[in-house]
A and B are shown apart, each in its own frame.
Chain A
Amino acid sequence: MRDVTFGRYYPSRGPLHETSASLKLLFFALYIVSIFISKTYTGLAVCTAFLLICIFISRVPLGRVLRSFRSIIIIALVSSVIVYLTHPQDGALAAVVLFVRLISAVCVSALLTLTTTPSEIADGLEKSLSFLRFIHVPVRDIALSVSITLHFVPVLQEEAEKIYCAQKARGASFSGSLSHKASTVVAVLVPLFSSAFRRAGELADSMESRCYDYACERTAFHESRFTSYDVLAGLLFAAYFLFTICVRLMPWQ
């Protein structure tokens, strides 16, 4: 549980922290596109190198980001083995592509949440999706829901750990066969869900008492000003994205 870094903000004054949240959300989406259009070893190497550079300049400890994929490494490995076995031709390449895509996607989402607070993400989403208001999409509510979800990921992780320890102290055994593990995990999931619903109710009351449903335009706490970091980040990302497209379109690939 402690390995999951998704949703945990890492306070710092690094260049990625200073970049506008709207821009980071756009980069995040485009990076996912770039790893999915890269189907060669060269393309994947470019994507991975760019991600490592981003992690380095973010001033977030490498271990914090890499820790995020520990929880899915088994899934990534099993999926890659299945792909390798089911692809008689280019099985190795297909397996590596899938593995790198999964790991990169998890790392880049962890990097986004480590360098951006949930409320910055909410403000960024609200601004980026504001055009949807014209078709009566509740953009503000969606953005705040995303922000609260991210905020509560570590809270629920801690809660799950406490329940796990409490059940172990009461004699529950979480080792043994897979079917036994599946049946005992219910002893953690039931109180966890119960607690999550109780927390949701209390949070809703707290937000209501703090005038969340007040009928007016909510003030954005983070000003949307483009800084020199944004311009530089935009140029670097554009260069990276064009480069991955070029690598994809190269005739010898």
Chain B
Amino acid sequence: MGAVIKAQNISTSYRTGFGLKEISFEIEEGSFVCITGPNGGGKSTLAKVLNGLVPLEGGSLEVCGLDVSDVHNLPEIRKNLGLVFQNPDNQIVSVIVEEDVAFGPCNLGLPLDEVKKRTARALEMVGMTEYAASAVSSLSGGQKQLVCLAGILAFRPKIMVLDEITSMIDPVERNKILQIIKGLVEEQGITVLLISHRFSECLAADRLLYIENGSLVADGNPRQVLSAALNEDEGRKSNA
């Protein structure tokens, strides 16, 4: 399997100051990669850069063989790379579950039958079929996040970037979402980049990228990267 994301020395100076400094990595198709690191390190900026929401200032970035710097490629990139944010309330545009899931396919101008088929399938994939006609306001935080996941799955993307999607929900729903994510990777072959602070989620991934102060400081097996990061932190404390 080839690389679906190729980043070569990518840099940004994002307006909030959480920029990226010459980061390089490749993500293989069908892999489950976790991105972690301290707050303000540039993880969310990286997610937005991958989707073309934040412009690159240096380096080159290819998603599914398409150059992200070329604005003409952005619609195709966004069809292939879905992005889910932390707070579901700030992503949901409709009051009814199926209407929100259908928002993306409707934007693509697909025939209504196809939109409905994709919406039904996406809701089925996240186990929310019975809530299709429900009001979003009646759902729990975890269920709202599943609606957001379904909204992206309705695009039938090859890659999904999930930016701290479990940070605002309880442990039971968090575990359910993690199982769904694993299912997407193993059964659907979707490449998943999960941004998270949680050890359990980092350890569930095949590979871990550790980003700090806009730089990629470690990349490899989750256990090794985490233990190296913890040892370094201990070392800093003992030196202080």
Contact yes or no, B106 A221, CB < 8 A: yes
- Does residue A199 face the partner (Cβ distance < 8 Å to B)? yes
By a CB distance below 8 angstroms, the chain A residues around B108 are 211, 214, 216, 219
Q: Say which residue of A202, A207, A219 sits within 8 Å of B115 (CB atoms).
A: A219
By a CB distance below 8 angstroms, the chain A residues around B103 are 207, 210
- Shortest CB–CB separation between residue A145 and chain B, in angstroms? 11
By a CB distance below 8 angstroms, the chain B residues around A212 are 107
By a CB distance below 8 angstroms, the chain B residues around A154 are 137
The contact size tier of chain A is 20 to 34
* Stretch of B23-31, B90-98, B194-202, B224-232 at the chain-chain interface: B90-98
* Stretch of B5-13, B32-40, B76-84 at the chain-chain interface: B76-84
- Does residue B183 face the partner (Cβ distance < 8 Å to A)? no
Find the B residue at minimum CB distance from A11: B135
Contact yes or no, B82 A209, CB < 8 A: yes
Query: Could you list 30 A-B pairs, sorted by A, with CB under 8 Å?
Result: A11-B96, A117-B94, A117-B95, A117-B96, A118-B94, A119-B93, A119-B95, A151-B92, A151-B95, A199-B90, A202-B90, A203-B91, A206-B83, A206-B93, A207-B93, A207-B103, A208-B78, A209-B83, A211-B78, A211-B155, A212-B107, A213-B75, A214-B109, A215-B75, A216-B108, A217-B109, A219-B105, A219-B108, A219-B109, A219-B115
Which residues of B are interface residues toward A (Cβ below 8 A)?
A: 48, 51, 53, 75, 78-79, 82-83, 85, 87, 89-96, 99, 102-112, 115, 133-135, 137, 151-152, 155
Seed contacts A11-B133, A210-B151, A219-B111; 7 additional CB < 8 Å A-B pairs: A11-B96, A205-B48, A206-B85, A211-B79, A216-B109, A221-B99, A223-B112
